[in-house]
Structure 1
Amino acid sequence: MQKEALDLIVSIISASVFVLLLMIAVFSLFRIYLKRKNTLLQEKQRMAVQFEQTLLQSKLEIQEQTFADISREIHDNIGQVLSLARINLNTLNVPADNNKINLVDELMEKAITDLRNLSHSLDSDMIRNKGWLEPTQRLLRDLEKTGKYTARLIISENPPTLGHDRPIILFRMIQEVINNIIKHAGANSIDLHVSKDKEHLTIIIKDNGKGFSKEKSSAGAGLRNLENRARMIAADLHIDSEIGAGTTITISVKLEPNE
């Protein structure tokens, strides 16, 4: 009788140990499954981000190549044609109204200067060599020359050049913001603040235009371009706008070591 009871106890203990080991095995397999699932999800997300970055980079390269082609066309052909026309105008020997000739000469000189500035703003290599700040200053000066805008650049500290490709993307973002202001804001004043701390370069572009409601406004192509370019340089983009109170756009670029 005691032997039967002992056998029963051993059987129960053995069964319990087996069930416990089985539960541990199932739990371990479940943990391995979850870990692998999370790893696969993370890898999928990483590949999706990488694909998006590659796609954006390809679009940027195509765009910059187009800009480079246009820049060369302006410099090599249109600019030269205007320069030759101006030379011929100033060597006319027929009697004419000097005031009109001088006016045409001034207009052609302005056209040549504007085309040269446009060519420089489209030239990616020039932006790489000189950085993003110089073309930004030129862009604001050109705005003021129109007589329609007051454009101020406030720099609290000498900003970094940001390396090889980032200055191009940052300048294109600034161009996009300025173009949106010209097209949609109805502003006559633009302030661009540049500041830097140990970790970030911050650019704040503020206008006194009509503003817009972010809740009622769907993101247009301009804002989508800004968001895409911000992701390419790992920058934070913040848009603050109210109807009747203008718009403020903040671009914060994380700096690399030693920048």
Structure 2
Amino acid sequence: MQRPLIQAESVLHHFLGISRALAGQLDFQSMIDAVSEEIRFILPHDHLDVSLLLLDGENHLQAYESGVHTAWGDFVYHPLPIVESPIRTLLLGEVPYLLSDDATLDPRFQFPGAFNHPIFDANLRSRLHVPLRAQGEIIGALSCSKHSACFYTEDDVRHTQHVADLLASYLYALRQTDQAKKLEIAQAQIRAREEGLRLGALRLTEELENERQRIGMDLHDQTLADMTRLHRRLGRLQLQGSLAGAELRPISQALQESMQELRGIIDAVKPTVLQLFGFEEGLEDLLLRSVRDSGLQIATRLSDSTDGAANELAEPQKIALFRIVQEAVNNAIKHASPQSIDVHLSCHLGQLALTIIDDGLGVLDEQPQDSGGIQNMQVRAQLLGAHLRIDRGPDGRGTQVHVSLPLPMMPINSALAKEA
């Protein structure tokens, strides 16, 4: 039975209808459902589907269908490798179109590994497939099927290609948007995991710091006190002549050195000046003690143009920053033999910047980037959510350690009070 001819004006009317149906459709399935009825007037079909190549680098495709539901619709959730698609020759650009009078008998759809059973299950005999092209590349295929055999003709190929060209740009844009959304979701999940790990590590750091401080107080209150009493008792025995002074002198000296080392450990694990008097005072005390204990003649300078912004940080953040400065200063003293060490605090665009500069030999020359001390600084910076950079100092001399991290949002009332 010959199909009635469609008037050109009617074809144009339905092409415009397809364009109107596309407007506002934000996902593939809604789009196919919306245009299916308009396409039916131009291309009668029992089954319509759009196959889209995925941007996964592995040559898979998804299918969205209207009319008779088939197993091809499951490719939305389980993409099909192109090599298993019955229309792989079209998707790979080997043929300009596929027109079949009876797909159940067509050898082009029947090859080893072909996912073609929907053709037989749904009795899709007459089939017509044309490529979807965008940006000069094949991005998928538009397919129409009828239960009856010998339904589509060469004239239908031209109409189908026009419909495909009309849909292709919209499908391309939807695919790019869908890919961008998937990437954004994946990146958001990664950021959430990283933030969870960072917060967990920061809490762990806080607990470790609390434990370090507890140990420091125990050492101070018990062990150091016991050693001090023992040292005094030895002194009294030496004065009383109960033991020979020559025998006591090395014991007393060793005990004195142990006490000094123990005080150093206590100072290292419990930065009391930082906690009692603030960040700037803690750094100043750190610089003075580090240079004094080294026995070297090193000039130090601390400048703070932040109006005490570092004190607005949470306690674990302040301590972690303090430890980074401590590591940088100790590295400079131990490896670089500097004549001066400068520490500068500044604020810029909501970021707290901390810079430690020495004019020594250069830690980067003496220590590789993966050395223990530098790794410690990098790990502490990561736990803070801070950015750490280690460069050569000004004029290529010495070392410059730069740390920047976001400042906490200041409450409006507090900001107004500071301005006042």
TM-score, reference length from structure 1: 0.74
- Letter paired with 1:119: I
Q: Following superposition of structure 1 onto structure 2, how do residues 77-156 of structure 1 map, counting pairs within 5 Å?
A: 77-92=222-237, 93-94=240-241, 104=252, 108=256, 112=259, 115-116=262-263, 118-123=265-270, 127-146=274-293, 147-156=295-304
SS of alignment partner, residue 397 of structure 2: coil
Contact 1:194 1:203 in 2 (8 A): yes
Q: Following superposition of structure 1 onto structure 2, how do residues 13-24 of structure 1 map, counting pairs within 5 Å?
A: 13-14=13-14, 17=18, 18=39, 19=163, 22-23=167-168
Q: Could you tell me how far apart the structure 2 residues matched to 1:87 and 1:51 are?
A: 52
Q: Could you tell me how far apart the structure 2 residues matched to 1:194 and 1:218 are?
A: 23
TM-score, reference length from structure 2: 0.49
- Letter paired with 2:392: S
Contact 1:192 1:203 in 2 (8 A): no
Give the Å deviation of 1:149.
Answer: 4.2
Give the Å deviation of 1:25.
Answer: 6.2
- Letter paired with 2:7: D
Q: Could you tell me how far apart the structure 2 residues matched to 1:148 and 1:217 are?
A: 24
Contact 1:159 1:201 in 2 (8 A): no
- Letter paired with 1:153: R
Other-structure match for 2:344 = 194
Other-structure match for 2:78 = none
Moved more, 83-92 or 192-201: 192-201
Give the Å deviation of 1:29.
Answer: 4.3
Are 2:400 and 1:248 equivalent residues in the alignment?
A: yes
Are 2:372 and 1:224 equivalent residues in the alignment?
A: no
Moved more, 176-185 or 54-63: 54-63
Give the Å deviation of 1:90.
Answer: 3.5
Give the Å deviation of 1:79.
Answer: 0.7
Q: Could you tell me how far apart the structure 1 residues matched to 2:284 and 2:357 are?
A: 15
Q: Could you tell me how far apart the structure 2 residues matched to 1:112 and 1:27 are?
A: 74
Contact 2:356 2:402 in 1 (8 A): yes
Q: Following superposition of structure 1 onto structure 2, how do residues 59-78 of structure 1 map, counting pairs within 5 Å?
A: 59-61=204-206, 63-78=208-223
* Unaligned stretches of 5+ residues in structure 1: none
By percentage of residues, which structure has more helix? 1
SS of alignment partner, residue 210 of structure 1: coil
Q: Could you tell me how far apart the structure 1 residues matched to 2:381 and 2:319 are?
A: 12
Task: Select the structure with the greater relative contact order (CA < 8 A; seq sep ≥ 6).
Answer: 1
SS of alignment partner, residue 315 of structure 2: coil
Q: Following superposition of structure 1 onto structure 2, how do residues 165-184 of structure 1 map, counting pairs within 5 Å?
A: 165-184=316-335
Give the Å deviation of 1:6.
Answer: 6.7
1:40-60 CA distance string (max 9 Å, x none): 222233124214413532552
Contact 2:358 2:399 in 1 (8 A): yes
Moved more, 161-170 or 61-70: 61-70
Give the Å deviation of 1:97.
Answer: 5.4
Contact 1:238 1:251 in 2 (8 A): yes
Other-structure match for 2:10 = 10
SS of alignment partner, residue 43 of structure 1: helix
Q: Residues 111 and 194 of structure 1: is their aligned pair in 2 closer, same or farther, counting only changes over 3 Å?
A: farther
Q: Could you tell me how far apart the structure 1 residues matched to 2:282 and 2:210 are?
A: 18
Provide the aligned length of Structure 1 versus Structure 2: 251
**Percent identity of equivalent pairs:** 22
* Unaligned stretches of 5+ residues in structure 2: 19-38, 40-162
Contact 2:202 2:316 in 1 (8 A): no
